[in-house]
Amino acid sequence: MSITIVLSSAIAFIIYLLNINNVCSSYQAITILPLIYAQFAIIIYRKLRWSSSTAKITIYIFLAIQWLRFVVLPAIGSVSGYFSDLGPYVSNKSALVAVWLLIAELVISSLFCFIILQFSRKRKGEIEKQSIKIKGVPAIYIVFIFTSIILFFLTGADAFTFIALKPATSLRLAGEIGDNPIISAIISFGLMFLVILIFYKSYICYQKTAQKKYVYFALFCALIRLCLISSEGRLSQVYLVYVFIWILPRLFPRYRKEIIRNVLVIACIVIGLLTIYKVFYVFSYDSYLSAIKNNNFDLYLLSNQIDSYFYSVKTVARNLEFAMISNVSFFTIIFDFLRNTFGLHYFFKNTGYTTSELYNLYIYSGTKTSGYLFSVVAYGYLYLGPLLAPLFTCFNMAVAAWVERKIVYVKYLEVQYIMCIIYARLSFAMFASFAFNWNIISRTLVICWVIITFASFPNRVKQNQNLYICL
């Protein structure tokens, strides 16, 4: 991998130099991004190879995303002319600051990787391999699952499509199932607990008989779930991929390679079709082929996609332009947290705007409060200033590393499944502001905690009765 890092960085650097005339003066400092990345990535990777850390996946994801931001984007962005202009809502000052702020973020967050690796090492006596259990009573989960199925057929039976979204719908499918977010949540979590019960039952049967059919049944159900799509959002499918690749090989370690291979193949097909749907505006055409024929996908569009989804130079510059002219209170951080905490958010409706909403009001001239993303380093710049801005990035990394460590030692399958979803959200969006992640995470935590607490209540009563008898 060290050779890959060096070669890709060197190639990106050469490509950028050959096309430097396509880059405006305010983005000239992008020249050194691949070189700086290569230096830190090689050191981190060498340390990572021999580390016994429980946060290895977090560091690998960190390196992969930074590779896209610091190596891939400068190369294709210079070729396509993506950096030939400042871009909308960007000034010369914000463009210059954005590049150097990203460099500072890379340096500080890379150094923080060593702290994570040091403090997340496996301790002697810690046990990873243990029998998997289920915390709640399956019968209660089944009642909840049947309730969600009934609600699904009553309110959202047409919401899911299989493998690919339908063309010629005339509008984008980017929302929730149905119109009611509570019903939508019940349906989504009912489907999740159905998958969990299937995994658990297959695991128990396999432990008793060691027959392949139970492995394949669990894998088949995972692939079916992966193919069920309710919107054009690709991240939800990416999260499922991570969950299945983490959980299934631990339930059936003998079939690890086969499970991972099949999940990745189906994931590539599903996510590939979702990408085509979104990029080529398939909803406006009669078929996927006609959409591809009538639209062009070039390096400029790819550059924009990488920049937007991974919070790179132009996205950060646009964020900073807002940060430089805004006058928000430090206590807005607390308001962001409260407004994005599921349950508490009902008490703070119509009481003010979050940072993200203020930013979008600025972009859309007061007409919309959502749409554009706000990076974590710009969030840090806004509230902590340029010197301390990367601290929020380090916070995101620390939380992701902590959750990854906890997953390893969880013995309850439903808790492990939920923590995997939360971890996937944290790790793949570690360069987004934490409030953006906390919105979905808090909803997942609160709803699942209520369901699991209710489902495990009979077990706790039984344990208390046994304890009373023993006393």
CA distance 187 to 146: 10
The reported pLDDT for the residue numbered 28 is: 87
- Please name every residue paired with 162 in a beta bridge, in sequence order, or none if there are none: 228
CA distance 385 to 387: 6
The reported pLDDT for the residue numbered 232 is: 67
CA distance 92 to 422: 38
Sign of the C-alpha dihedral computed for residues 324, 326, 86 and 356 taken in this order: positive
CA distance 70 to 30: 8
Q: How many Cα neighbours within 13 Å face the side chain of 294?
A: 13
pLDDT in tens, 304-359: 889 988 999 999 999 999 999 888 888 889 998 888 888 887 888 778 888 898 99
The reported pLDDT for the residue numbered 470 is: 47
Query: Around Cβ 276, how many Cβ atoms within 10 Å?
Result: 19
The reported pLDDT for the residue numbered 463 is: 59
The reported pLDDT for the residue numbered 166 is: 74
404-437 per-residue burial string, b: 16 or more CB within 10 A, e: under 16: bbebbebebbbbbbbbbbbbbbbbbbbbbbbbbb
CA distance 161 to 284: 17
List, for the chain, all residue ranges whose pLDDT scores fall below the cut of 70: 123-130, 156-160, 168-182, 232, 460-471
Residue 98 burial class via C-beta count within 10 angstroms: exposed 0-12, middle 13-18, buried 19 and up: buried
Question: Which of 77, 64, 76, 55 lies closest to 37 in space, CA to CA?
Answer: 64
The reported pLDDT for the residue numbered 152 is: 79
- Please name every residue paired with 161 in a beta bridge, in sequence order, or none if there are none: 229
Residue 91 to residues 1, 81, 196, 321, Cα–Cα distance (Å): 38, 18, 50, 7
Dump the DSSP string for 104-140: HHHHHHHHHHHHHHHHTBPPTT-------B-SS-HHH
Q: Where are the domains of the chain?
A: 2-126+298-397, 138-295+401-429+443-470
The CA-to-CA distance between both ends of the chain, in Å, stands at 59
pLDDT in tens, 275-308: 888 877 777 777 778 877 777 777 888 898 899 8
CA distance 420 to 403: 8
Helix (H, G, I), strand (E, B) or coil at 264: helix
144-179 per-residue burial string, b: 16 or more CB within 10 A, e: under 16: bbeebeebbeebbeebeeeebbebeeeeebeebbbe
CA distance 88 to 272: 29
The reported pLDDT for the residue numbered 467 is: 45
Dump the DSSP string for 208-248: HH--HHHHHHHHHHHHHHHHEESSS-SHHHHHHHHHHHHHH
Per the structure block, which two tokens stand in for 296? 């062009």
Question: Which of 112, 36, 34, 41 lies closest to 390 in space, CA to CA?
Answer: 112
Which secondary-structure segment (H or E) carries 101? Answer: helix 92-119
